Amino acid sequence: MTPRQRVEAVLRRQIPDRTPFTIYESKLLQCTVERELRNAGLCIVNPRYPVVELRYREVRVERHEYQKDGETYIRTVWHTPAGDLTRIDKPAEFTSWQVEHVFKGPEDYKRLMWLATDPEPVPCYERFLKARRWLGEDVLLQVNIGATPLHRIMVDWLGVETFAEEWVERQDEILRLYNALADQQRRIFPLIARSPALTVNYGGNETPEVMGPPRFREYVVPLYNEAAEVLHQHGKLLGAHLDGNNRAWMKDVAASALDYVEAFTPAPDTDMSLEEALKVWPDKILWINFPSSLHLASTQTIVRTTKQLIEAAAPGDRLHPGHYRKYSRRSLAGKFTGYFQSNSRCWMKGVILHRASSTTPNPSE
């Protein structure tokens, strides 16, 4: 099997010829280690090729890069019919930090509404297919619906502190934006469902300490379920990037229609162990992060931890015992840890674990 086929097999609840191991394309340096990893079967997860684009009709967007005190900043201006919105970001390698949020005060709600309602979703399937052909069999192209609406309002537009104040003072305005963004995403669901993609991420980086279980239950999970209902009709698989603490809403995730939990990070980095996650989410594929706290540990510690993670999925119906005994020697512990230890900047994405039950429904069938 090719690296991509192994990943897709596990996500479909099938048995691959070895435990898949993946990494985000933004974390893999071009170096000797990269070549060794890819030759050994590493699958690169690339989210840079969407199947749907959002194109503004009335809103005009400008971006300018500038220098201040030796630092680089990017100013983005949205020119809406109701007035301008401005955001300033500071790039930081593969990510960025919002120095100035787009929301400045209550007068911006009418302008933000244009950002929620003006974009037109347009399919771009051919570009996705072309990229998949060019990148080959050791790359998985992962499609994203985008941040869930309340997360986008909270984190991207208002900022957490301002959101807390506005949730008390002007919750009705926030909910109007939420409903507009949700309607926009409902127009995206069928376009992605009919696309050539297989795996679809919806939101992520939700934090119970900020989002709170009640809001997660009321405003996030229902949209997971709506998306899944549409996507499953076309054999697509839906996941969410839940890499933080999940204990507070683990039952809500269990009851959701998500097919997989992507970037699940086991204890000690979060408040749930792998064993707990496998138990409480019996029908979810776990696409786990190798714990970041161990990236710089000794080779012996990394190998031992890797074996423990794979063994945690082995008893009962977690992994077929024959599959585990036969292939664990060719998994992360045997193939990849030495390479990562030799170059700590090549961050580990993780292995994919599942319950190999013959009675588990396959959304692709």
Residue 13 lies in a domain: yes
d(CA 340, CA 324): 23
| pLDDT score at 28 | 86
Whether residues 74 and 9 fall in one domain: no
Residue 136 lies in a domain: yes
| pLDDT score at 353 | 56
Residue 308 lies in a domain: yes
CA 148 remoteness from chain centre:
11
| CATH code, 8 | 3.20.20
Report the predicted TM-score, pTM, of the whole model to 2 decimal places. 0.87
Residue 167 lies in a domain: no
| pLDDT score at 325 | 30
Whether residues 202 and 324 fall in one domain: yes
| pLDDT score at 26 | 87
Whether residues 30 and 135 fall in one domain: yes
Query: CA–CA distance from 138 to each of 7, 141, 346 (Å)?
Result: 10, 10, 17
Whether residues 336 and 312 fall in one domain: yes
Cβ burial, residue 150 (10 Å; 0-12/13-18/19+): buried
| pLDDT score at 359 | 35
Residue 111 lies in a domain: no
Whether residues 128 and 96 fall in one domain: no
* Structural domain count of the chain: 2
Whether residues 195 and 324 fall in one domain: yes
Whether residues 95 and 213 fall in one domain: no
CA terminus-to-terminus distance, the chain? 20
- Its domain, for residue 80, covers 57-102
Whether residues 95 and 233 fall in one domain: no
The total number of residues written for the chain in this structure:
365
Residue 265 lies in a domain: yes
Whether residues 126 and 80 fall in one domain: no
| pLDDT score at 308 | 85
Residue 112 lies in a domain: no
Q: Which two tokens stand for residue 67?
A: 């220098």
Whether residues 195 and 215 fall in one domain: yes
Residue 80 lies in a domain: yes
Whether residues 247 and 311 fall in one domain: yes
- Residues forming a β-bridge with 64: 75
DSSP code, position 50: -
Whether residues 246 and 298 fall in one domain: yes
HEC states along 152-212? HHHHHHHCHHHHHHHHHHCHHHHHHHHHHHHHHHHHHHHHHHCCCCCEEEEEECCCCCCCC
Per-residue pLDDT 10s for the chain (365 aa) are: 999 999 999 899 888 888 888 999 988 888 898 898 899 899 999 999 999 999 999 999 999 999 999 999 999 999 999 999 999 999 987 788 999 999 999 999 999 999 999 999 999 999 999 999 999 999 999 999 999 999 999 999 999 999 999 999 999 999 999 999 999 999 999 999 999 999 999 998 999 999 999 999 999 999 999 999 999 999 999 999 999 999 999 999 999 999 999 999 999 999 999 999 999 999 999 999 888 888 888 888 888 888 888 788 764 333 322 223 333 333 333 334 443 433 333 334 555 655 443 333 333 33
